[in-house]
Amino acid sequence: MQYVQIAASIVVRQVLEKGRNLNQVLEESQRGKADWMASQRAALQDLSYGTLRFYGQLQSILNTLLHKPLKDERVRYLLLTALYQLQYGKSAQYAVVDHAVRAAQSLNPKTSGLVNAILRNFLRDQVMLVGRAAQHPEGKYSYSQWWIDEMYMQYGERSTALLEVGNQHPPMTLRVNQRKCSSIEYGKLLAQQELASVAVEPDALRLKKPVSVDKLSGFFDGMVSVQDAGAQYAAHLLDVHDGMRVLDACAAPGGKTAHILELATVEMFALDKDATRIKRVAENLQRLGLAATLEVGDAADPEKWWDGKVFQRILADVPCSASGVVRRHPDIKWLRRRKDIDQFAGQQLAILSALWQLLEQDGKLLYATCSIFQQENEDVIKVFLERQSDACRLQVMLPDDKEGKLLPNDEHDGFFYALLQKKA
C-alpha cells in the first residue's frame, strides 16, 4: 500500500502544482509500473481521483492538524492521500497509518513521526475536524470558492445538491450498438451475466454496479460502448437520416460520431484539432465496425480543411469548462479559473459562427457542451442568434426541460443542447 500512496501523492501533486490533466498523469504513471497487479493500479486510480475529489475538505483538515507549514511538499501530498483513505476508504485504518509512516520514512525519514502523529490525531478527532472543515465553503463542498459563488449565483438553492452530485462516483452507462443488438436484448444478456442494469433515457442502460469493459458481453466485437446517458441525447437530437452528409466538428474521442453512425447510414466526417485524439476516434470506430472520414483541423478555421461541400447536419460539441462532468474529472474543479469561462465562451462563439457557413439551407446544427455554466450555453446562443439572421432555434425535448439543459443527477452528467436550423 505504501507504494500506491506515494504514487498517488505524486499524481495529485502533478495535477495541483503543474496544472496537468489527471488522466494524462495517471496514464504516464501507469506506464512505469508494469509489474504492478491490477488491484494496485485500481487503488492508484481511486486514491488519485478521491484525493482530488475531496481536496478542499482534506486540505482544510490538514491545515487544522498542522501547527506550522510542512517544508517537504512530498509529505504534504502523502498526508492528503492518507487522509482520504481514512475518511473515505475501505482499508483498515491501522494499515493506512502504518503504510503512510513507512512511505514517509522512504521520502523523508525526519517526517515519519510527524506523519504518524497527524494521522492518529485525525482518527481521534475525526468528527470534530470534519465539522470544522465544513464551516468554510471550500472545506464543505470541495470546490474552489469562485466555482461555489458562480453556482449559487446561477442556481440558488439548487446549488447545494448540484455541488454534492459533483462529488459522487459517476454512473456507468452503456450505449448499445443498434446495428447489432437492441437495448432490450442487451439488457437480457447482462442479466444472464448476473449484471444488473436499468433502462434510462434516451435509450441507454445504466449498470447498478460498474464493471471493467472486458466483462461486458460483446464489447470487443462492437456490440456496446460506455457513454453517459446525457451524451447519448446528441445523436438523437441531431435528427440524422440515411444518405445525409454529416460533420462532427469536435469529435474526439468519437462516442457521438459512432452513435450517429449506429443510428443512420450517412456520409460521416469527424474533425478534431488534436492528431493524437483523432486516433482514438479511429480506434473506437474500428472496434464498432463503423467508418468515417477523419480530419485533423480547427473547427473555427474551416478554410484549412473544408472541401467546400455543405453538410445537412453538423454536431458542434465544442470545448468547454466541463463543469457538468466534474465527478468524472475532479481535477477540473481545481484547474479551472473564473476567467476560463469567458475565454471558452469566446472560443465557442467563434466555432459556432464558422461552422454555420458550412451548413446547407434547412440544415440543422446541434450546439452541445458538457457545461452547466450559462455563459457557455444560453449566453452563447443568444449572442449567435442576435448576429445570425438566418438562424432559428428549434425546441429540444429533454426530461423536465425544454430549453436543452441537463443538470447532473443519478442518471446522467450535465449537458446543454441547442438545435439550430438555417432558414431557407
Which residues make Cβ contacts (< 8 Å) with residue 260, sequence separation at least 6?
235, 238, 240, 246, 248, 266, 268, 315
- In-domain check, residue 147: no
Whether residue 32 is predicted with pLDDT greater than 80 in this model: the reply is no
Which residue is listed with cell 484549412?
Answer: 304
- The verdict on 112 and 181 lying in the same domain is no
| One domain, residues 115 and 84 | yes
Confidence at 278, pLDDT banded by 50, 70, 90: very high
Query: What is the pLDDT at residue 67?
Result: 85
What pLDDT is stored for residue 33 in this prediction? 79
Q: Is residue 152 part of a domain?
A: no
Q: What's the pLDDT at 40?
A: 87
pLDDT of residue 35: 80
In Å, how far are 177, 213, 287 from 207, measured between CA atoms? 16, 12, 21
pLDDT digits (tens, 9 = 90+) for 68-80: 889 899 999 999 9
Q: How far apart are CA 8 and CA 3, in angstroms?
A: 9
- Is residue 237 located within the same domain as residue 318? yes
Q: Which residues are catalytic?
A: 370
The mean predicted confidence, pLDDT, of the chain is 94
Q: How many domains does the chain have?
A: 3
In-domain check, residue 193: yes
Do residues 250 and 324 share a domain?
yes
Residues of the chain with pLDDT > 90, as a percent, come to: 91
Q: How confident is the model at residue 402 (pLDDT cuts 50, 70, 90)?
A: low
pLDDT exceeds cutoff 70 at 290: yes
Last residue of a domain, one of 98, 124, 141: 141
- Lowest model confidence (mean pLDDT) among 28-37, 54-63, 134-143: 28-37
Same domain (yes/no): 180, 246: no
Q: Do 237 and 383 share a domain, yes or no?
A: yes
User: Position 414: which residue type?
Assistant: G
Flag whether pLDDT at 89 surpasses 70: yes
**Does residue 155 form part of some domain?**
no
Q: What is the pLDDT of residues 46-55, one digit of tens each?
A: 999 999 999 9
The residue written with cell numbers 470487443 in the block is 220
pTM here? 0.92
Among 117, 134, 57, residue whose Cα is nearest residue 88? 57
* Domain co-membership, 276 together with 370: yes
Confidence of residue 36 (pLDDT cuts 50, 70, 90): confident
Note whether residue 62 is domain-resident.
Answer: yes
pLDDT for position 38: 84
216, 331: one domain: no
Residues 361 and 406 in one domain: yes
What's the pLDDT score for residue 212? 92
284 falls within a domain: yes
162 in a structural domain: no
**Which of these three, 226, 243, 262, is where a domain ends?**
226
Place of cell 505504501: 2
What pLDDT does residue 248 have? 97
What domain range is 50 assigned to? 2-141
> The domain that contains 31 carries what CATH number?
1.10.940.10
The CATH number of residue 367's host domain is: 3.40.50.150
* Pair (288, 252) in one structural domain: yes
Band of residue 331 on the pLDDT scale cut at 50, 70, 90: very high
Report the CATH number that the domain containing residue 197 is assigned in CATH: 3.30.70.1170
